């Protein structure tokens, strides 16, 4: 099965945008984990995760979001989520992630949120 | 009323690379059983969570072990059994911690059972010492 999961990085000013594609499960979650760790290693803590092309997520993928958010906010940044399909968004909502993360429609909306709400208490 | 019952079984090595195959199998069974698209998606995720738990926790990523997914359905219900060869860890006995607390504690695991319980009509676990452990998931088929 070629390319079950890919992370493509772009930047909007000092905001890193990680575009996810494919399925995020226990097998592919480490690739996502490495992508976020690379941002933190480079002292980039303003991160947008674009899930427009994310077709599936399990709790292993959600665990990556959970594992980094405190560290990201301690560094003065935040992780904002955008573009989720209804199917994927439903999983985030089952676990109450909307109370912890900024979840918006698009990458421009997410980048703008760093102006109006740079960080957020977990 | 009696109805014809069908059983389909998939056995794979205990490795996360096979989760996609397991989801494909379960999606096909769910469609055959007459579940709608939304319920098929829920079934896929619940079984993925069950199998990922087995691969990681019960088998400790030992790919020499096997995970078996057995699906049995009639016109009213679809029952899934996930059978492992592990020591017998009952995930349903784990207390439920608020997600906010888990974030604070930087815990990344423990969400799988919550997802399963949210998506399925029944979740239960059976430990057979020295034999097999079975996680049972049940989904009622909406007419």
Interface predicted TM-score of the whole assembly (ipTM), two decimals = 0.88
pLDDT tier at B108, thresholds 50, 70, 90 = low
Can you point out the beta strands (E) in chain B? 6-13, 66-73, 77-84, 122-127, 133-140
Which residues in chain B have Cβ-Cβ distances shorter than 8 Å to A94? 114-115, 118-119
Phi-psi region at A56: left, alpha or beta (left = phi > 0; alpha = psi -120 to 50): beta
CA distances from A75 to A92, B9, B33, B99, B110 (A): 24, 49, 50, 21, 26
Q: Is B100–A122 a contact, with Cβ atoms under 8 angstroms apart?
A: yes
Q: Is A91–B115 a contact, with Cβ atoms under 8 angstroms apart?
A: yes
The conformation of residue B18, written as its DSSP 8-state character, comes to G
Residues of chain A with pLDDT under 50: none
**B21 has pLDDT over 70:** yes
How far off is chain B from A26, nearest CA to CA, in Å? 6
Phi-psi region at B60: left, alpha or beta (left = phi > 0; alpha = psi -120 to 50): left
Can you tell me the mean pLDDT for B104-118? Answer: 79
Largest Cα–Cα distance of chain B, in whole Å? Answer: 52
**B123 has pLDDT over 90:** yes
Largest Cα–Cα distance of chain A, in whole Å? Answer: 41
Interface of B with A (CB under 8 A): 16-17, 19-20, 23, 41, 44-45, 48-49, 52, 55-56, 98-100, 102-104, 106-109, 111-112, 114-115, 118-119
Q: What is the mean pLDDT of chain B?
A: 88
On whether the CB atoms of residues B87 and B65 are closer than 8 A, the answer is: no
Three-class secondary structure of residue B25 per DSSP: helix
The residue that leads in pLDDT, B85 or A20, is: A20
Please give the model's pTM, rounded to 2 decimal places. Answer: 0.90
pLDDT of residue A45: 96
Closest CA to B54 of B17, B16, B80: B16
Lowest mean pLDDT among A15-29, A81-95, B34-48, B95-109: B95-109
A contact residues 19-38, partner B, Cβ 8 Å cutoff: 23, 25-27
pLDDT of residue A96: 87
């Amino acid at each position: 099965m070629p390319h079950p999961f890919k992370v493509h990085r772009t930047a909007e000013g000092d905001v890193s945008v990680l575009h996810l594609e494919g399925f995020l499960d226990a097998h592919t979650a480490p690739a996502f984990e490495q992508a976020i760790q690379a941002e933190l290693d480079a002292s980039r803590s303003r991160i947008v995760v674009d899930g427009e092309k994310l077709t599936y997520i399990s709790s292993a993928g959600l665990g990556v979001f959970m594992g980094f958010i405190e560290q990201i906010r301690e560094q003065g940044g935040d992780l904002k989520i955008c573009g989720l399909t209804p199917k994927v968004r439903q999983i985030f909502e089952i676990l109450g992630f909307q109370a912890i993360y900024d979840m918006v429609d698009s990458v421009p909306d997410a980048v703008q949120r760093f102006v109006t709400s740079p960080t957020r208490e977990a | 009323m009696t109805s014809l019952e069908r059983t389909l079984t998939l056995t794979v090595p205990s490795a996360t690379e096979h989760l996609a195959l397991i989801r494909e199998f379960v999606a096909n069974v769910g469609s055959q059983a007459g579940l709608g698209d939304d319920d098929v998606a829920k079934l896929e995720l619940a079984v993925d969570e069950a199998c990922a738990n087995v691969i990681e926790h019960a088998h400790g990523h030992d790919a020499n072990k096997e995970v078996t997914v057995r699906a049995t359905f009639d016109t009213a219900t679809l029952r899934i059994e996930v059978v492992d060869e592990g020591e017998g860890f009952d995930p349903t006995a784990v207390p439920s911690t608020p997600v906010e607390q888990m974030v604070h504690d930087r815990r990344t695991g423990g969400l799988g059972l919550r997802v399963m319980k949210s998506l399925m009509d029944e979740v239960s676990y059976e430990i057979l010492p020295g034999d097999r452990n079975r996680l049972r998931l049940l989904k009622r088929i909406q007419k």
